Structures are given as structure tokens and as C-alpha cells.
Amino acid sequence: MERLIDKFGRPITDLRIAITDRCNYRCVYCRTGNEGAQYAELPFTDYLRIARVFAGLGIEKVRITGGEPLLRRGVVRFVEDLAGLRRLDGRPLDLAITTNGHLLAELAPSLKDAGLRRVTVSMDAVERERFARITRVANGFDSVLAGIRAARKAGLDPVKVNCVLLRGFNDDQIVEFGRFARDEGVVVRFIEFMPLEEDRVWSPEIVVTLAEVLERIRTFRPLVEIPHALSETARRFRFDDGVGEIGIVAPVSQPFCGHCSRVRLTSDGKIRTCLFSLFDHDLHAVMRRGGSDEELADYVRSVVERKEARHHIGEPGFEKPSRSMVHIGG
Ligand code: SAM
């Protein structure tokens, strides 16, 4: 079987599957707070078949996302089924989940037992009140912290904590997050805010860049850069005493499109070849028509072939993508 490779020669090895676009948080930079779910959810058997077809095309990592993936009943069983799939080299898939962590304390041990390797928890403040203002959910902070601790205890490794920074909103939390990484033994990753929100909040001025994060965190302690793989999105740093790792994902100020290895499947079974795509590709329609695995694989190949060269954030004529982040799967 031929491995997936796009017309720019980028090998595609990383699939993200959104299993819902429902979310129990209403983060101010992501959702308006008025919109609910907008797209269908497929039965897990359909996502599993799609994942199997992708594994046969050289996919090595699968990340389950949403919406909030832990809201969907049956997610543990889905992880168990994914863990039964094999990569082309015969090894199991590298399985991860991105979650807001609200329900993680309860689910972490069974997710680990089911075959999950890693978890990324989104957390945009380390102060309770600030956290509530961002998520628009009262008392979520303690649940998320408990989720992070339970994930570490269950042996999910590494536990990454993603923080999207917005100027004037949570950029005063940068140093506190540095402390948090050291105290909690997690990898904290600061993410540059991208124009992917339901509302129109984004402006170049609100983005806190990689250079700025480094400058601020170095006032706390010196950092040493860790070499990273080209397809990795984050620049990685350790504090000078070896305790605590932070990463910075800088799609706006230092785009990494040239090494992008990702494609996404939305909850309703559409392929997106870039977060900023202006179109989806309806893979599930091929299934509904009774397409064979070979036909699904052919369709995936033809779509990947057309993957965009790069995004155009901040350029004149930038067009907003056809879906916002919560409805794509981050
Ligand atoms: N509900 C899960 C969660 O909270 O992680 C998974 C879905 S959420 C859409 C995935 C990630 O996208 C979160 O880390 C969130 O902070 C991030 N995100 C949402 N909107 C974003 C934006 N406009 N720019 C950058 N990251 C964004």
C-alpha cells in the first residue's frame, strides 16, 4: 500500500478525529456562547473504519478531539478499538486525546487501560477566577487540575497542558505557567491565537508571539532549547536546572506548514487538509454510498494530494476558514 504524501512531498502521518462538536466550555476566544453543536456525530464504528483505512495508508498517530471528546459516551471503548489497529510497520498507533480536562479525573485510568498513550489538556489560566472568566464555567478549575493529576497518576505520559495566550487577557499568567510546569511535572505549551473563533475577536495585536513568551519567561528562569523533530509543531525548552519543560507553538509568527504532517476528520466525517481550508471533503458520503475500503483509500489519496501549501494568516485577502476550531477539531 502506498503511503500518503501530498504534492509538496510532505508525508501525512498524523490523523485527528473529532468525535463531536459539542463542548461543555464556552471559552471566550473560541465560542460565541450562543451557538451549540452544528454538525452530526457518526457512530464510533464509522470513525474506526476510517481510522483503519488511514492506518493502511501510513498514518502513525491518531488524536481524538472535538468539541469536547470526553462528553461522548463510549469514548473509552473507541480508544480500545483504535488500540487494536496496526500501523504499516506492525506497531500500534500512537494514541492521544485533546480535552478540556473537565471529566478527565474520572476517565484517565480507564483511558490508559484502553491503550491511550498521551493526553493534552487545554487550560488557559492557573488562577481560579481567571479560568472561570475565560471558560465561562464556574468552578471548572478544580476539576481540570484534578484531571491533570489523575492523568499523570494513571501513567499517561507526557501530560501536556495547552494555553492559548491573548494579550491583555491571560498573558500575565506566563510566568505562573512556568511554575506550574515545574510543580505539576507537566509540559506547558503556549499557543499563538489563530483566527479560528466563532466570533470575530482575532487581530494581530492580540497575538502574544513566541519571542515575547520567551522574553517573559526568561525573567523567571533561564531556558535551554531542546532539539525537536521537524514535524513537531512546538519549539521546546527546559529550565536551566533541568526541572520543567515548556513549549511554544507559533503558527502565526513562525508557521510550520512546510513540515505539516496532519489531516483532520470532522465529527460528521469530512476531511480537512488544513485548519484554514475553505472546503471540506466528504469522506463519509463515500461510505454512505457503500464505498469499499479501497474506494475510501482512493478518495483519501486524492484529497491529500490537494493539501494546501500553507495558511495565509495576517496576509491581505486572508479568507476565514469554512469552520471554526470547535467545529473542526483542534
Ligand atoms: N475540547 C477540547 C479542548 O479543550 O482541548 C478539544 C477541542 S479544542 C477546540 C482544541 C484546542 O484548540 C484547545 O487547546 C483550544 O484552546 C484550542 N483553540 C481553540 N480556538 C483556538 C484559536 N482560535 N487559536 C488557537 N487555539 C485555539
Give the per-residue pLDDT at 156: 98
Residue 269: phi and psi, rounded to 5, are 85, 25
pLDDT the model gives residue 233: 86
CA-wise closest residue to 303 among 321, 281, 322, 285: 281
Mean pLDDT, residues 289-317 taken together:
96
- Which one is predicted more confidently, 198 or 40? 40
Q: What is the pLDDT of residue 253?
A: 92
201 has pLDDT over 90: no
* Secondary structure (3-state) at 281: strand
Q: From ligand 1's centre to the CA of 289, what distance in Å? A: 33
Nearest Cα residue to atom 9 of ligand 1 = 326
* E strands, 24-168, in order: 61-65, 94-99, 118-122, 159-165
pLDDT in tens, 140-166: 999 999 999 999 999 999 999 999 999
Cα distance between the two ends of the chain:
29
88 CA from centroid of ligand 1 (Å)? 30
Residue with the bigger pLDDT between 93 and 34: it is: 93
Strand runs labelled E in 166-243: 187-192, 223-226, 234-239
Confidence band, pLDDT 50/70/90 cuts, at residue 43: very high
Predicted structure pTM score? 0.97
- Amino acid 34: pLDDT: 85
Q: Report CA dihedral (262, 266, 271, 272) to the nearest 10 degrees.
A: -60
Residue 231 has pLDDT above 80, yes or no: no
Predicted pLDDT at 330:
83
Q: Is the pLDDT of residue 230 over 80?
A: no
Average pLDDT, the chain: 95
Q: How far apart are CA 137 and CA 124, in angstroms?
A: 13
CB-side neighbour CA atoms (13 Å) of 10: 24
3 state SS of 56: coil
Mean pLDDT within 274-291: 97
Q: φ, ψ for residue 155 (rounded to 5)?
A: 95, 15
Q: Which ligand 1 atom sits closest to the C-alpha of 162? A: 14
State yes or no: pLDDT of 313 exceeds 80.
Answer: yes
Give the mean model confidence (pLDDT) for residues 193-217: 93
Give the pLDDT band of residue 274 (cuts 50, 70, 90): very high
Separation CA 267–CA 328 (nearest Å): 8
CB burial of 262-284 (b: ≥16 within 10 Å; e: otherwise) equals bbbbbbbbbbbbbbbbeebbbbb
Q: What does the pLDDT read at residue 152?
A: 98
Cβ atoms 287, 305 nearer than 8 A: no
195 Cα nearest atom in ligand 1: 23
Query: What CA–CA distance (Å, rounded) separates 197 from 314?
Result: 15
Nearest CA to ligand 1 atom 15: 122
Q: Which residues contact 138 (CB under 8 A, 6 or more apart)?
A: 132
DSSP 2-37: PPPB-TT--B--EEEEE-----S---TTT--SS---
Residue with grid cell 512531498, as numbered in its chain = 9
Question: Is the per-residue pLDDT at 272 higher than 70?
Answer: yes
Q: What is the pLDDT of residue 1?
A: 65
Helix 293-305 × helix 44-55 angle, to 10°:
70
Whether cis (ω within 30° of 0) applies to the bond prior to 158 is yes
Task: Report residue 35's pLDDT band, with 50, 70 and 90 as the boundaries.
Answer: confident
Establish whether residue 98 lines the binding site of ligand 1, counting it when its CB lies within 6 angstroms of any ligand atom: yes
pLDDT of residue 236: 95
313 CB near ligand 1 (under 6 Å): no
CA 33 / ligand 1 centre spacing (Å): 15
